[in-house]
Homo-oligomer: A and B are copies of this chain.
Amino acid sequence: MKHAYNVYEDRCPTRLVLDRLADKWALLILDRLEDGPVRFNHLRRDIKGISQKVLSQTLKKLERDGLISRTVFPTVPVTVEYALTPLGLTLTETVSALAHWAERNMDAVLAAQASYDAASGAR
Residues in A lying within 8 Å of B, measured CB to CB: 2-4, 7-10, 13-24, 26-28, 31-32, 34-35, 46-49, 63-67, 87, 90-91, 94-103, 105-106, 108-113, 116-117
A24 touches which of B18, B66, B106 (Cβ 8 Å): B18
Instruction: Judge whether A108 and B87 touch: CB under 8 Å.
Output: yes
Which B residues touch A32, using CB under 8 A?
Answer: 8
Out of B4, B9, B110, name the residue touching A13 (CB < 8 Å).
B110
When A105-B91, A106-B13 are in contact, do A3 and B65 touch as well, CB less than 8 Å? no
Q: A98-B94, A99-B18 are in contact. Are A109 and B28 (CB under 8 A)?
A: no
Q: Is the interface of A mostly helix, strand, loop or mixed?
A: helix
Q: How far is the CB of A115 from chain B (nearest CB, A)?
A: 8
The distance from the CB of A78 to the nearest CB of chain B, in whole angstroms, is 18
A87 and B64 within 8 A (CB): no
